[in-house]
Amino acid sequence: MGSSTDMMTLRKSALDKLADTHPSNREPLAGLEVKLGDYLSAPIRPNEIPPALARAVSDLLIRDDDQIGPGAALVTGLLEFFELERARSFHQALFSAVWEVFRQRTVDGDPEKDFRLKTGTISDGAIPIELYGSSWSFKAFHIDRDALLFSHLYGPVVGFTGGELHLIDIRPYMGRHSLRFDDVFEWSDEPTDGCKPVLRSEHTQSALAEYGRTTGSMGPDQIVFVNNLPDTGVLHGATPVVVTDPESFIREYHRCSVKDLRLC
Ligand SMILES: [Fe+2]
């Protein structure tokens, strides 16, 4: 990755090549769950991450020629160990630990200088509209533009229905149907510089049916990780949120992500 590489060009060329991959017969995104209880025992300090846990999550995320993981991971069972505030601390520490293992196995670069880890809380319905053209985070299936890896911990989540997270493995879909980037994707239309690949609406139903799965309604018991490297091809999206109780409505998620500072 050179210093002047453009992330949109990189994503387009990497996704174009997915048409040449051989679709596997495995169930899409199978086996992505990691049960926290298998790795932690109470009492636990949120900042102490067992190396075996970071490796287990990373194993699921990585997809290369030697190892085809689902490209996503769902860490479950947080409520057994943490209330939300401590769960967020744990999430941040886990993300750093997973990124360290993931980076060593997937990306070249100076760990101190070339990457930036970011953590923040996003509140649906209150996202500054100038950022993405909408105050709501759920939208058509897409791939985030900058993040190489990201994770979300949802909560509090009150006063609505819907908002279920879905993932699509677009790699075998493009392979099976010999589809190139322009057949499957368009670029998002956003007020900020740069755009992200968005699944064309005519492919939504078939891609979901063939290679999609839902992680259900996300809450403070789970953390979802998505490998968002350019050649991974795992899309994310959510069903529309219907606010049922405007007085109590809140849909927040704590997000960790990492970007490559050499890419623009
Ligand atoms: Fe996204």
Number of alpha helices (DSSP H) and beta strands (DSSP E) in the chain: 7, 13
Residue 259, both tokens: 């970007």
Determine the pLDDT at residue 2.
41
Longest dimension (CA), the chain: 51
The position carrying tokens 């998002």 is 188
Q: How far is the CA of 177 from the centre of ligand 1 (A)?
A: 25
The rounded percent of the chain whose pLDDT value lies above 90 is: 78
Name the helix (H) or strand (E) containing 98: helix 84-106
> Quick one: pLDDT band at residue 139, thresholds 50, 70, 90?
confident
Q: How far is the CA of 255 from the centre of ligand 1 (A)?
A: 10
Cα(97)–Cα(35) distance, rounded to whole angstroms?
A: 17
The answer, yes or no, to whether residue 130 has pLDDT greater than 90, is no
Q: How far is the CA of 22 from the centre of ligand 1 (A)?
A: 26
Determine the pLDDT at residue 33.
96
Residue 209 CA neighbour count, 13 Å, CB half: 5
Domain borders along the chain are: 7-260
Q: CA angle, 189 as apex, 8 and 225 as ends, to 5°?
A: 60
Is CATH 3.60.130 correct for 7-260? yes
The answer to whether 98 and 149 are in contact (CB under 8 A) is yes
Q: How far is the CA of 143 from the centre of ligand 1 (A)?
A: 6
Q: How far is the CA of 122 from the centre of ligand 1 (A)?
A: 12
The rounded percent of the chain whose pLDDT value lies above 70 is: 97
The answer, yes or no, to whether residue 1 has pLDDT greater than 70, is no
The answer, yes or no, to whether residue 4 has pLDDT greater than 80, is no
Q: How far is the CA of 145 from the centre of ligand 1 (A)?
A: 8
* SS3 category, 141: coil
The answer to whether 256 and 92 are in contact (CB under 8 A) is yes
Q: How far is the CA of 24 from the centre of ligand 1 (A)?
A: 26
Cα(10)–Cα(234) distance, rounded to whole angstroms?
A: 16
Determine the pLDDT at residue 170.
96
The answer, yes or no, to whether residue 154 has pLDDT greater than 50, is yes
The answer, yes or no, to whether residue 3 has pLDDT greater than 70, is no
The 10s digit of each residue's pLDDT in 164-176 is 999 999 999 999 9
Residue 92, both tokens: 């941040």
Q: How far is the CA of 237 from the centre of ligand 1 (A)?
A: 7
Mean pLDDT of the region 122-132? 85
The 10s digit of each residue's pLDDT in 192-251 is 778 999 999 999 999 999 999 999 899 999 999 999 999 999 999 999 899 999 999 999
